[in-house]
Chain A
Amino acid sequence: MAFDPSNLGLQVELNQISSTLHALWETPEQRTRACLLNLVVYCQGTQQLAANTELISKFVRNHACRAILLGDSPAAPVQKTSAWVQAHCHINKAGAHEICSEQITLLAEGLAPATVANMVMANLDYDLPLNLWWQGDLPKNTDSPLWQRVDRLIIDSLDWKNPRQDLQRLSAIRSQFGSRIATADLNWTRTLNLRQAVALSFDNLALLAEIGTINSLEICHAPESKLTALLLASWFAAQLSWVPTQVNPTSLHFRASNGGNIKCKLLETAGDAISSLSVNSDAFSLSLQRETGSCLLHSTLKSAEGPVQSHFPAGNSDLISLLTEEMMPGTRHRVYLKALNSLDHLLA
């Protein structure tokens, strides 16, 4: 498909980006430029530039930022750079000023990673945190100076073509940069509302007393969302100190610290990434279900005291909602990193 740059804004020379952006804010219109962070969105080639521009225009409604959308084609035969700038504006409430964020789109063809990194770094808004949303498989080489500036790495492990390799690369990034780079996995965020609902259910003291007796899980996931299901299972394992003993394509087996065995069934079902989850023991059964499109998780707890129905928020699983949740301050994800350690054992 031919590359169509029509939604990327005004095409400019690379050395005119800054002056063109300044000119945008010198108009007499009642507009306010707002910027709390740098968001660099990395994608391969030109195919995703239009879709990412749409995402950025929605993202800035909740997170005023300077967005730099980078289309990288390192294998292109001819070296070439192109740039576009535009503003995304919205009105918070009637009669208020327009609030605007900036987007710079850079297309790098046939350039070395260090050159691409320099292009990006030259256009960062100073003194603001750098969030790098790396789409697709993680890079093998993270030696460029851009990575030294990154504060938060955003990924979506569901996009990984080779999860085992990407997990190793993520591990290498963590080793190289330590806790200086926070990792935010949108796929992990997909499980947030389920994790929240399960955790809140165990606020019931009687249920909490039985947490060590869990003997089975059942996770229904969409065919393309197995990694989401594995992350959810990894979370249980990490938080409840279960050790994997056997990994099959549709079932996982764990041993708890009290010696009990836990079987986790993974069932492919059309629908949401995770459409249902059940947590069972001899004393209780907790079932959480989300009907497609519903904003609620329907929960049923069955125990000797009789069934209890309740509802929890299901959240939204579109990329903007996931990204917005991930951008909440303070999400350093110690628990995610623990779950990743378990996931490593589950990637058969």
Chain B
Amino acid sequence: MNATSSPTINPLKEGLSNRPLPRPCNVVIFGASGDLTYRKLVPALYNLQVDGDLPATTNIIGFARRPKSDDVFRAELGEALGKFSRSGRADEVWTDFSGRVHYHQSEFSNGEGYKSLAEKLDRFDAENGTAGNRLFYLSVGPNEFEGILGKLAEHGLNKTKDGSWARVIVEKPFGHDRSSAHDLNEKVSHVFAEEDTYRIDHYLGKETAQNIMVLRFANSIFEPLWNHRYIDHIQITAAEPMGVEARGPYYESSGALRDMCQNHLTQILCLIAMEPPTDLSADSVRDEKLKVVRALRKYTPEEVASNVVRAQYGVGAVSGKEVPAYRSEDRVSPTSETETYVAFRAFVDNWRWDGVPFYVRVGKRMPKHGTEIAIYLKDTPGVLFNAQQAGLGPNVLVIRIQPDEGISLRIQSKRPGAQLAIEPVKMDFHYNTSFGKPSPEAYERLLLDAMAGDATLFARRDEVDAAWTFIDCIEDAWHKNPNPPVMASYPAGSWGPKEADDLLAADGRTWRRL
């Protein structure tokens, strides 16, 4: 067959689906022995197959150091699937899927491993019509990026031919600060063009995160109120009861600010604060998010002390179980100065958000798991009901990212009876109950988008760069300042240090209880 006169549009695909339709490709996962592969990546690819979204001839190649046969790799993945796949494991689908899963053993620095990988991919292309389309997933530490990228380039695996594509997905952390992120971006850009580089932030793949734009721009009720005239303040919370578990060494070099705020929470803040994009293309959306990050007020070291609280958990109890202090965790320094909690007051210095504080907090060893955005509207005027009954709470719109994804709105309502008594009630929307079925996992959507070439839910280089500029101001004030702010502490299982409460109390506000 001759492809030279190939029409560019496949007429048979018209109207078939409004879901992203990726081209058949080969997915290579570097670091395939890691937890992410077993818990998230392969279950996500499997569920895409269950839902009919995975191109039928897609091969999945796990690239890792440990010696292992295809069969052993498949058996391990099959077992993991039973635990981590939202749809469980159906034997017939698994038989077909696992037949296209392969293991490729090699050191990341071994050129021979890449040579044989290239041969394997060429063979799959010939057998399956995957046409040279390749998706490389770097599920490895950033210290491995340069070596892997260099070898991919050396063996021509980043090259495309005849309309095919080669893309790379990069896991966080994307750099340690602005300078290292810049270096990393440079290294990636020598091998993959920006449009082929997908910096993954799994928060953006969550249904509720995707729904923020729909909520704001597909409902006329909210947008007129979405500004400094009607919104008093916004609270963004990401709490988790877990400690650092086995990630002590990583966490020691990262901390809560870099681990969560530079990426996940900044992205969420952007979706809340951005202007409507001109269209839904990846760059239009990311252009608007970038404007928000650039408008984030950069603090001087003195301002950091009064606007940012850092803290570490001490001994305490979570879910009725005693847990050790952070400094007693496995492979954590007993004199560690790494924060496990951070709370800050941020301002987006533009017309829409003039003077509206965004309070952000993130912490480990909190009493419960939950990520949410709470939008507090301004009080009603102090006449009529507000004059009669002091302390009527404001309207609060809460967007729950996880768990129990959904949206609720707190409104005031008259309590039934002859007396005029007003009480807050909640209008509640739960994804699971309203749509009657659980949402897909974030990685499913993100992998599918990367295969389809849609980068909307991935961070662009300039976004990452701008986010680090904001974070570096805080990190520098903590670590390069002769008089750094104190490291507060909080008992494990509490909602954070007193200093964080004081941060809001100074503005006459309190943190929302989850």
Decide: A315 near B52, CB < 8 A? Known: A36-B434, A99-B436: yes
Q: Given contacts A209-B4, A296-B96, is CB(A196)–CB(B52) below 8 Å?
A: yes
Question: In whole angstroms, what is the CA distance A89 to B436 when docked?
Answer: 11
Contact segment of B8-16, B187-195, B440-448? B8-16
A205 adjacent to B128 (CB under 8 Å): no
Within 8 A of A (CB), among B247-274: none
Q: Is B20 part of the binding interface, using a Cβ–Cβ cutoff of 8 Å? A: no
For B23, the chain A residues whose CB sits under 8 A away are 203
A206 touches B436 (CB 8 A): no
A209 close to B92 (CB less than 8 A): no
Task: Provide a sorted-by-A list of 10 A–B residue pairs whose CB atoms are within 8 angstroms.
Answer: A61-B437, A92-B438, A193-B52, A203-B23, A204-B24, A206-B129, A239-B12, A239-B14, A296-B92, A296-B96
Q: Which residue from B56, B93, B126 sits with its C-beta under 8 Å from A295?
A: B93
Q: Does A127 interact with chain B (Cβ within 8 Å)?
A: no
Q: Main SS of chain A's interface residues?
A: mixed
Which residues of chain A from 197 to 251 have any CB-CB distance to chain B below 8 Å in the complex?
Answer: 197-200, 202-211, 239-240
**Which 10 A-B residue pairs are closest in the complex by CB-CB distance?**
A335-B15, A313-B52, A209-B6, A199-B12, A206-B1, A206-B3, A199-B13, A205-B3, A204-B129, A205-B6
A200 engages B2 (CB within 8 Å): no
Cα distance A30–B461 when bound, in Å?
A: 48
Further 5 A-B residue pairs, CB within 8 A, beyond A203-B55, A294-B92: A36-B435, A92-B437, A195-B12, A197-B56, A209-B5
A299 at the interface (CB under 8 A from B): yes
- Interface code A90-124, partner B: CB below 8 Å = 1, 0 otherwise? 10110011010000000000000000000000000
Interface centre among B4, B14, B436, by most A CB within 10 Å? B436
Instruction: State how many angstroms separate the Cβ of B58 from the closest Cβ of chain A.
Output: 10
Complex Cα gap A194–B405 (Å): 34
Closest B-chain residue to A212, C-beta based?
Answer: B7
Measured between beta carbons, the chain B residues less than 8 angstroms from A64 are 433-436
Known A-B contacts A63-B436, A200-B56; the reply to A211 vs B11 at CB < 8 A is: yes
- The answer to the question of A301 belonging to the interface, with a C-beta cut-off of 8 Å to chain B, is yes
A60 smallest CB distance to B (angstroms): 7
Residues of chain B within 8 A (CB-CB) of A29 are none
The answer on a CB contact under 8 Å between A203 and B15 is no
Residues of the A chain whose Cβ atoms lie less than 8 Å from the Cβ of B437: 61-62, 92
Q: Give the residue name and chain of the B residue nearest to A63 (CB).
A: B436
Counting chain B residues whose Cβ lies within 8 A of the other chain, the interface size class is 35 or more
Stretch at the interface among A18-26, A142-150, A157-165, A304-312: A304-312
CA distance A192 to B10 in the complex (A): 16
A270 at the interface (CB under 8 A from B): no
Enumerate chain B residues within 8 angstroms of A240, measured Cβ to Cβ: 11-12
CA distance in complex: A200, B131 (Å): 13
42-94 of chain A: CB within 8 A of chain B = 60-64, 90, 92-93
Bound Cα distance from A283 to B2, whole angstroms: 10
A residues near B14, Cβ cutoff 8 Å? 239, 334-335
Chain B at the A interface: mostly helix, strand, loop or mixed? loop
Does A299 contact B56, Cβ atoms closer than 8 Å? Answer: yes
Tell me if A12 is interfacial: C-beta within 8 Å of chain B.
Answer: no
Seen from chain B, the residues whose Cβ lies within 8 Å of a Cβ on chain A are: 1-7, 10-18, 21, 23-24, 49-52, 55-57, 90, 92-93, 96, 126-129, 131, 162-163, 430, 432-438
State whether the Cβ of A333 lies closer than 8 Å to any Cβ in chain B: yes
A residues near B92, Cβ cutoff 8 Å: 294-296
How far is B2's CA from A188's CA once the two chains are assembled, in angstroms? 33
A296 CA / B49 CA spacing, docked (Å): 11
> What residues of A have a CB within 8 angstroms of the CB of B15 in the complex?
333-336
B433:A209 contact, CB within 8 angstroms: no
Closest beta carbon of chain B to A212's beta carbon, Å: 8
In the complex, are the beta carbons of A32 and B433 less than 8 A apart? Answer: yes
Whether A311 contacts B96 by the Cβ 8 Å rule is yes
A303 interface contact, C-beta 8 A = yes
B90→A209 contact, CB < 8 A: no
Tell me whether A330 is interfacial, beta carbon within 8 Å.
yes
Given contacts A64-B433, A92-B432, whether A207 and B1 have CB atoms under 8 Å apart is: yes
The answer for the CA separation of A200 and B58 in the assembled complex, in Å, is: 12
Q: Are B56 and A312 neighbours in the complex by a CB distance under 8 Å?
A: yes
Min CB gap A225→B, angstroms = 21
Max chain A CB contacts within 10 Å: which of B11, B18, B126, B128? Answer: B11
Given contacts A34-B434, A283-B1, contact A206 B6 (CB under 8 A): yes
A223 to chain B, nearest CB (A): 27
Q: Which residues of B contact A34 (CB under 8 A)?
A: 433-434, 436
Bound complex: CA A296 to CA B17 (Å): 19
Q: Are A304 and B1 in contact (CB under 8 A)?
A: yes
| Docked pose: A72 CA to B24 CA in angstroms | 50
A336 to B15, CA, bound (A): 9
Q: How far is the CA of A240 from the CA of B7 in the complex (A)?
A: 12
- Determine how close the nearest CB of chain B comes to the CB of A264; give it in whole angstroms: 15
Q: Which of B4, B10, B50, B126 contacts A202 (CB 8 A)?
A: B10
